[in-house]
């Protein structure tokens, strides 16, 4: 399938607590999320990075039968046997409770660590919608594919490789532990949201891709 509208596109995977780079693509480019690709382990599809007091921390949403080869990402179910939602909520509270916009945003994010979703794609997409709405970017929610998207010449395809893609130039901002830790680029955008609030849109606009 070539996407429904013939133009240069950025093809994205689903992502858990999407990164600053991911959000920059959504702000600046025409994007589509492929819900029919095969799952790639150890990728942003179910992993995110935040900044804890000891440094960068990785959060992983647990999946059932994630070791099966060639599993379509749309079929992946979440696994709640190890209470990862509770662990992620505790990590986020510990990392960001002293951030400038924590009180504005936490109540909007907390339900994702209380409600159980069956499928990873539903969970990821609802978090993405909520994160975009937090900073007034609802209109940048991308289209969702109805079947596998074949990349055309000139497209920016961010699906195949883990943690790779066009060069990303982060715009620095004051992170919650900036008094003791160096700036950590391209964390989950929730790090930027908690630090900058509505001004996060301006930070994204100054980030560079390619």
Q: Which tens digit of pLDDT belongs to each residue from 108-144?
A: 999 999 999 999 999 999 999 999 999 999 999 999 9
What is the rounded CA–CA span in Å between residue 176 and residue 99?
6
pTM score, two decimals? Answer: 0.93
pLDDT in tens, 38-71: 999 889 999 999 999 999 999 999 999 877 778 8
Range name among 5-14, 28-37, 42-51, 80-89 with the lowest pLDDT average: 5-14
Tell me: pLDDT of 163 over 50: no
The Cα diameter of the chain in Å comes to 49
- Give backbone dihedrals phi and psi of 127, rounded to 5 degrees, phi first: -65, -45
Q: How confident is the model at residue 3 (pLDDT cuts 50, 70, 90)?
A: very low
Report percent pLDDT > 90 for the chain: 87
**How many contiguous H segments (helices) and E segments (strands) does the chain have?**
6, 8
Q: How confident is the model at residue 166 (pLDDT cuts 50, 70, 90)?
A: confident
Domain parsing of the chain, residue ranges = 10-204
Q: How confident is the model at residue 2 (pLDDT cuts 50, 70, 90)?
A: very low
How confident is the model at residue 65, as a pLDDT? 80
What is the rounded CA–CA span in Å between residue 155 and residue 7?
8
Q: How far from chain centre, in Å, is Cα 34? A: 14
CA distance readout (Å), 92 to 141, 165, 174? 24, 27, 17
Tokens for 72, please give them.
């379509």
């Amino acid at each position: 399938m070539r996407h429904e509208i013939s133009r240069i596109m950025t093809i994205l995977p689903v992502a858990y607590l999407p990164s600053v780079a991911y959000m920059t693509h959504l702000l600046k480019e025409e994007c589509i999320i492929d819900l029919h690709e095969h799952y790639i382990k150890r990728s942003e599809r179910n992993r995110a990075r935040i900044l804890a007091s000891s440094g960068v921390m990785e959060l992983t949403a647990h999946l059932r039968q994630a070791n099966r080869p060639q599993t379509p990402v749309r079929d992946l179910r979440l696994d709640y046997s190890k209470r990862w939602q509770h662990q992620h909520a505790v990590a986020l509270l510990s990392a960001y409770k002293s951030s400038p916009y924590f009180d504005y945003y936490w109540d909007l994010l907390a339900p994702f660590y209380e409600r159980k979703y069956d499928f990873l794609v539903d969970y990821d997409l609802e978090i993405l919608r909520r994160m975009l709405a937090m900073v007034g970017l609802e209109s940048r929610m991308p289209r969702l594919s109805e079947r596998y998207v074949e990349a055309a010449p000139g497209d920016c395809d961010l699906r195949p490789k883990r943690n790779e893609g066009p060069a990303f130039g982060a715009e620095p901002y004051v992170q919650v532990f900036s008094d003791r830790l160096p700036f950590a680029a391209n964390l989950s955008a929730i790090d930027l949201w908690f630090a900058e609030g509505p001004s996060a849109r301006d930070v994204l606009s100054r980030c560079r891709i390619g």
